[in-house]
Structure formats: structure tokens, C-alpha cells
Chains A and B, each alone.
Chain A
Amino acid sequence: MSRILIVEDEAHLAQGLRFNLEAEGHSVQTTERGEDALARLVKNHESFDALVLDVMLPGKDGFTVARELREAKNFIPLLMLTARGRPEDVLKGFESGADDYLPKPFNLAILIARVEGLLRRKDWTHSVSAEPSQQDSDLPDHFRFGDKMVDFRNLQLRAGKEVIQLTVMETDLLRYLIKNAGHPVSRKAILQDVWNLHEETDTRAIDSFIVRLRKYIEPKPSKPRYLLTIRGLGYQFVPNPKQ
């Protein structure tokens, strides 16, 4: 069950949305004003899993509410709902910080699917950020090699003052390679252990990730020292290469 906050000043729409999302098994609260939503989310730190936000509100409009939420570092999944469906309105919605945008009148099934999509995305991000703590025993949050440092928790690679933002997949792959430092790992093992892919996927897909990782960590990507290709086997991470 997820907690959803609906900001909609049209009483009929608010009631209908609430009824349907509750029927989907969520706990729903409604408010008519953007200021109220901001107070609850930012000031009182009430926790909601998703926000459905109308644009045309009395007082602060939806664009302003979204912008102020994001400025206050509140990254709640946000579906914007509005009668204005012109492309520039849609773009303005995303610019102000919406995760998804649905023009009125909307199709009920699609609305529900989009809300579920936002909630699912949130669950995924949660499980990813929760992963490092599960693996605390095998690996710390940080790992140093050469002049580089990997920050697994924040998905960052630091080299001196430079900070490179890694994607979730890149971090997972790097973590796996570091965990098996000194031993070669096959492409198939990477697919299975890192991405849970058991089908006969084209194992070449990994190669492009390796190329990208080398660009980040190798002084000369064409002559790798840390991340070696072992012919016929796969890849091997070497934390302390000989000069």
C-alpha cells in the first residue's frame, strides 16, 4: 500500500481520483491548495510515495509548487495533471520538476498505470540504494585504487577533484569486478550475477560497458592497466598493477 497525496481544487475530480486510487489499494489524501501540499511535504516532512498535482490551483499554481518542492530537495514522484495539453505546457511541466504529465480529460486506466509506474520506479530506486548496505560485509561504501576512489553509495567515481557520476548499471558492474579483484570473471557470470540475466543474451553488450568504465578509470583507455581483458575468459580487475 502506498500513500498518495492529491492536490486538486475541483472537488469532483479530487473525489473521483481518490475513490479510484483507494480502490487500487492505496491510502489517499487530498488537498485543494498548493501551499498546503508544500507545508505538509516540506515543512512537516509528511511522507507520501507519490504526488498527483493539478496545475490550475488557487494561489500557487502547480508549476510553482513543483519547482519549490524540488528546490527544497523533495524528490517525491510527481504526476502533473492539467487541462493545458499544448507541447509548451507539457515541457514547462517537466522543466518545473514533474516526473510525468497527463492532460485532462484523461483515461482512468492510463492514469492509474502512470501512478503505478511512478510508485514502481520509487521501489526500484529504493532497492538499489538499499543494496550497498546489504553488501557491507563484502565491500565498504568506498573503494580506493590508484588515485581514484569509487563511492558506491552515491554512484560516484572521484579522481582528484573530478567527480564522475556513474549509472546504476556501471556501478553494479564495477562493484562486481572489484569484489572479484585478482580473478578473471566471464561475460556470462557478469550477466547472471550483476543483471540477473539467464537467457542467452548477446554477451557483447557488456563490452560497451567495459569500454565506458575504462574511459573513467584508466589513464590510457587503449592500454588498460586496471581493467584487463583475459582472452577466452572475460575480464579481470587489478587493484594494484605493477609499474
Chain B
Amino acid sequence: MRITRRTKAMAFFIVLGVCLVALAVALNVSWIIFHWRQVVPLVLGIILFGLLITGMVINTIFLVREIRRNEQQDSFLNAITHELKTPIASIRLYLETLTSRPLDEAQRREFYQIMLEDTDRLLGSVEQVLRASQVRQGSSRQNWQEVDFAAMVREALELARLRQHLSEQALCFGTPPANGITVLGNEEELRSAVLNLFDNAIKYSGEKKNIVVDILAPNIDTVSLRVIDLGMGIEAKELKRIFKRFYRAPNSVDGQVKGTGLGLFIVRSIARRHGGDAYAESKGQGMGSTFTMRLPRIYRA
């Protein structure tokens, strides 16, 4: 329902915009026909009409964009509501169970463990939102230091494996990373970017997870982290949009994948802050995808 409402509103504004532009063009043409002998009104008219037409086109584009952004914020609000409320609902359910029912020790312990996992999830969501607002507020290079990139990626990989209960095969290095790759930056932010890349690959891999991670050093001043998954893939026109804030690719094939639409935005923002970039490649839906984060590296002879 939401999609039709959005398309309807956008169609209306596009049609309105086109009609107004057409009207302005028609007026412009008739102006030229009526005044073609008089130079001053002719030139003035053409300039003014030109301005009018440009203004209308810009206005229409702006409106359509604004509608789209509104929709994205709406869906973000839905997603974040779900991400925050679900673990709270779970914790509450178990707390009420613990207080109202007689339980044996083993069950009690199991429930405590579940609640701990829920608090982790809650913390993760909150940090994600905070990080997203933080990376938008320009860069401060105060806390930058030299980071051992390979060691950091290895740690993040093990953490992701542990958090998502994955086997070694599901998430692994293609070739063991070389040591001595150093990046200048904020270690915490870089780790967050790497973890977000892993999370994204895991989420969109579906049932059969086989994610290969590689650290490439194509030349002396660049290092790339490449994450290849065999998941649901990305359509060509979505490849750029997925890095936008709040944007979540529509998954017509496999329904909803849960998330806030912030992960890849955070990845790209952090990469750019560090003088690098992040991009995605995919052969299309169902063909898996490859994400690459490129960062400048400090070369030591």
C-alpha cells in the first residue's frame, strides 16, 4: 500500500512539473514569435523563461527526492522500532517468566544466557544508530593512530563468527593476510566498518553461508578489504543506492531481511573519512555480491 501511495504522489508531481515546463516552453516560443524583430524583449524574454523553466525542473526533482527520502525515513523508523523493541520484549518476557514461575537451575541459567544475548543485540542497535549520527558530523583526526589492519580484520572476523554462531567455513579468509599492513586512522571506527561489512554479507547470504574475506594490497599506498558472498546478490541499479543512509534494497525474491539501513552507510562514511571508499559489485540477483573497502596505507620499506 505504501509503495502505491508513494508512486502515486511522485507520478502526480512529475506530471505537474512536466505540464508546467511544457506551458512555459509554449509561452517562450510564442514570445519569440511575437517579438522576433525586437531585440531587447526577445533576449530578456528568453533569459527569463529559461530561468523559469530551470527553476521548475529543479523544483520537481527536489520534490520527488524529498518524497523518496521521507519514505526511507519512515521505513527506517519501522526497522529501528523493531530492532529496539524485540530484544526488550524478549528480556521482559524472560524476566517475567523468572519471577512468576518455579524453574530449575538449568532453565534459569539458559534464560539468563538468552537475556544476555538480547542485551548484546540491543547494544549493537543503539551503537549502530549513534555511530551513524557520529560519522555524519565531519571528521576529527585527533585520535588517529597507526592500526595493524590485518590483525584488526582477523579479530573482527573471529568476533563476527562468535556472535552469529558460524562455522569456520561460513566465514573465512581466502588467503591468510600478510602482516605489516598499517593504516592510519581511528581503530574503533575501522573495526566497526569491517564488522558492518561482515554483518551485511552474513545477513544477505541466506541459508548457505560461504563468505570469503581477502586483504589485498594492489600497490604500495593502498589496501583493500574484499568480502565475497554467494548470497542473494544486488541488481545493477541498486549498487550505488545501497550505501545511502536508510536505504534498503527491496528484496522481491526472499522477502524482508531485517536491518536498519545504516550498516553500509556507516561503512562508506568511515572509509571516506579515512581517505578511502567502499563499493559493491554483483552480477545480479541470486548471483552473490562482492564488497570492497579501500583505504590508504602507510608504506614502510
Jot down 21 A-B pairs with beta carbons below 8 A, ordered by A: A12-B87, A12-B90, A16-B114, A17-B93, A19-B97, A56-B256, A57-B255, A58-B254, A58-B255, A59-B256, A83-B81, A104-B86, A105-B85, A105-B88, A106-B89, A107-B96, A108-B92, A108-B96, A108-B100, A109-B96, A109-B100
Among A16, A17, A60, chain B packs the most CB atoms within 10 A around the CB of A16
Interface residue ranges of B83-134 to A (CB < 8 Å):
85-90, 92-94, 96-97, 100-101, 114, 117-118
- Interface presence of A100 (CB below 8 A): no
- Interface presence of A120 (CB below 8 A): no
Q: Chain A nearest CB: distance from B188 CB in Å?
A: 28
Contacts of B118 in A (CB 8 A): 12
A23 to B258 CA separation, bound complex (whole angstroms): 31
- Interface presence of A13 (CB below 8 A): yes
Closest to A56 in B: B82
Closest to B256 in A: A58
Closest to B255 in A: A59
User: Assuming A12-B118, A13-B86, A105-B88, is B257 touching A58 (CB within 8 A)?
Assistant: yes
Contacts of B82 in A (CB 8 A): 56, 83-84
Interface residue ranges of A86-110 to B (CB < 8 Å):
104-109
Contacts of A10 in B (CB 8 A): 86, 90
Interface residue ranges of A118-176 to B (CB < 8 Å):
none
Nearest 6 interchain pairs by C-beta: A105-B89, A59-B255, A104-B89, A108-B96, A83-B85, A16-B93
- Interface presence of A15 (CB below 8 A): yes
A41-73 near B? 1/0 per residue, CB < 8 Å:
000000000000000111111000000000000
- Interface presence of B78 (CB below 8 A): yes
Contacts of A108 in B (CB 8 A): 92-93, 96-97, 100
Contacts of A30 in B (CB 8 A): none
Contacts of A12 in B (CB 8 A): 87, 90, 94, 114, 117-118
Chain B, interface size: which category?
20 to 34
A58 to B257 CA separation, bound complex (whole angstroms): 7
Contacts of B81 in A (CB 8 A): 83-84
Interface residue ranges of B227-276 to A (CB < 8 Å):
254-258
Contact B90 A56 (CB under 8 A): no
Contacts of B85 in A (CB 8 A): 83, 104-105
Contacts of B114 in A (CB 8 A): 12, 15-16
Closest to B101 in A: A23
Chain A, interface size: which category?
20 to 34
- Interface presence of A229 (CB below 8 A): no
Contact A83 B256 (CB under 8 A): no
| Majority secondary structure, B binding face | helix
Contact B89 A20 (CB under 8 A): no
Contacts of A105 in B (CB 8 A): 85, 88-89, 92-93
Q: Besides A12-B117, A109-B100, 11 other CB < 8 A contacts?
A: A10-B86, A12-B114, A58-B254, A83-B81, A84-B78, A104-B89, A105-B85, A105-B88, A105-B93, A108-B96, A108-B97
Contact A16 B90 (CB under 8 A): yes
Contact B89 A13 (CB under 8 A): yes
Interface residue ranges of A8-33 to B (CB < 8 Å):
10, 12-13, 15-17, 19-20, 23
Closest to B90 in A: A12
A83 to B258 CA separation, bound complex (whole angstroms): 13
Contact A16 B255 (CB under 8 A): no
Contacts of A58 in B (CB 8 A): 254-258
A83 to B80 CA separation, bound complex (whole angstroms): 10
Q: Chain A nearest CB: distance from B228 CB in Å?
A: 24
Contacts of B257 in A (CB 8 A): 58
A181 to B257 CA separation, bound complex (whole angstroms): 65
Q: Chain B nearest CB: distance from A1 CB in Å?
A: 18
A59 to B117 CA separation, bound complex (whole angstroms): 25
Closest to B80 in A: A83
Q: Chain A nearest CB: distance from B4 CB in Å?
A: 15
Contact B94 A16 (CB under 8 A): yes
A109 to B118 CA separation, bound complex (whole angstroms): 21
Contacts of A56 in B (CB 8 A): 82, 256, 258
Contacts of A20 in B (CB 8 A): 93, 97, 101
